[in-house]
Amino acid sequence: MGEFVIKMPDVGEGVAEAELVEWHVKLGDPVREDMVLAAVMTDKATVEIPSPVEGVVLWLGADVGDTVAVKAPLLRIQVAGEDGSAAEAAPSTTAEPSATVEPAKDKPAEAKPAPPPQARSAAETKVIQPEKIPERPIAREPTERPVASPAVRLRAQEAGVDLRQVPGTGPAGRITHDNLDQFIARGIQPVIVQTGPARKTDVEEIKLTGLRRRIAEKMRLASSRIPHITYVEEVDVSDLEDLRATMNAGRKPDQPKLTILPFLMRALVKTIGEQPGVNATFDDDAGIVTRYGAIHIGIATQTPSGLTVPVVRHAEARSIWDTAAELVRLAEAARNGTAAREELSGSTITISSLGALGGIVTTPIINHPEVAIVGVNKIMTRPVWDGTQFVPRKMMNLSSSFDHRIVDGWDAAVFVQRIKALLETPALIFIEG
């Protein structure tokens, strides 16, 4: 028998380390050739590491969440034949990037001592020993019938002992005469029956890894370095909803169903043309604001792995239908983990939409290093005074945040008010110029 050492592969040009986000095997597991052993995440992609050999896992060199240097030993596999030579596992050619992540600053995982070869066989051998009788009686459920012979039951009845309190050491917890004798010797104790909801004392510690840790780092950075100003305005979207319903009723079979987002994105494009200062990023270390002609709109999207921001690139060059189709495509790619890195980065302004879940006001956190984010809230039918009477109107709040170092409060208000005007008179969205 020999050992084959699999090292952290070189997963990309310029990448010196990667975060271990998932083990697919554990100590003692048999592995086959090409079987996926682990998944690692870099700032460019999530990569699966396959096994180049067949054998049994002897040693794991890191825990989930650890950062491992390229070429550092990752695991050892016991193989048949001569000693295995140290080798690097090649990343799976079918692995797709699922999210971007900053390289963590943790030190590389330290090697852990490998268990002796006989450890696995010993662990697999179960030695059944007589169960020690607890110091105190065990209370059973009122409907649970203790296992005991008729003779034991008769003795317990004569002694006034509730067998539900007596721990049994026989097969399947059977109560023996010795168990009854020991219980009586300690003194008969009352039955303790849980009458209300049971108290919970469990505590679970969850280490942030992979995308979840990346999200936490981004939120901490944005919250600690950006002085936010949030501006909330209500918008009457009654006419917009009527227009949306009409357009959906007449859409072609190959056209997606329109939500409110494509209209908001078109309104953003027109407004940014008048206020280019909000379509920007700010490098606060260098003190440089970069304004962009291209409008790349990030759409905050909830996925099974956490919050991601797929990017609709060049929104300024897309029609309402093209925008809607791209939204559907990107959201699906983000949720199933097939979005490419360039589809999850490079946004110049972001939209956060929680309207489907409810909520009338939010305070969205800016997607660093951008300087603005527009939040969409729930559409609600509310009574609105038209000057003579209250009429039912479909109202929605826009909750938008700005980097107050770059965007003054006045400019933020003008920006939101212009979007409001476009959404309330949706025909203006389609007028060029």
Question: Residue 167 carries which side chain, given as an amino acid letter?
Answer: P
**Residue whose entry in the numeric block shows the structure tokens 């059944």:** 128
Other beta carbons less than 10 A from residue 59's beta carbon: 18
Give the torsion through C-alpha atoms of 414, 415, 418, 423, to 10 deg.
Answer: -140
| 385 contact partners, CB below 8 Å, separation of at least 6 | none
> If you compute the radius of gyration of the chain from its CA atoms, what whole number of angstroms results?
32
Gap between the Cα atoms of 101 and 207, Å rounded: 16
**Residue whose entry in the numeric block shows the structure tokens 């009845």:** 157
β-partners of residue 5 are 76
> Alpha carbon of 34 to those of 2, 21, 38, 93: distances in Å?
19, 19, 12, 11
Find out whether 65 and 207 touch, Cβ atoms under 8 Å.
yes
Distance of CA 227 to the CA centre of its chain: 26
Catalytic residues: 404, 408
Q: Encode burial over 385-394: b for 16+ CB neighbours within 10 A, e otherwise.
A: eeeeeeeebb
Alpha-carbon dihedral sign for residues 352, 357, 360, 362: negative
Task: Determine the length of the chain.
Answer: 433
Q: Which two tokens stand for residue 259?
A: 């939500």
Gap between the Cα atoms of 260 and 374, Å rounded: 13
Find out whether 148 and 156 touch, Cβ atoms under 8 Å.
yes
Question: Residue 402 carries which side chain, given as an amino acid letter?
Answer: F
Burial class (CB in 10 A: 0-12, 13-18, 19+), 403: buried
Alpha-carbon dihedral sign for residues 149, 155, 157, 162: negative
28 phi-psi bin (left φ>0, alpha ψ -120 to 50, beta other)? left
Gap between the Cα atoms of 9 and 75, Å rounded: 12
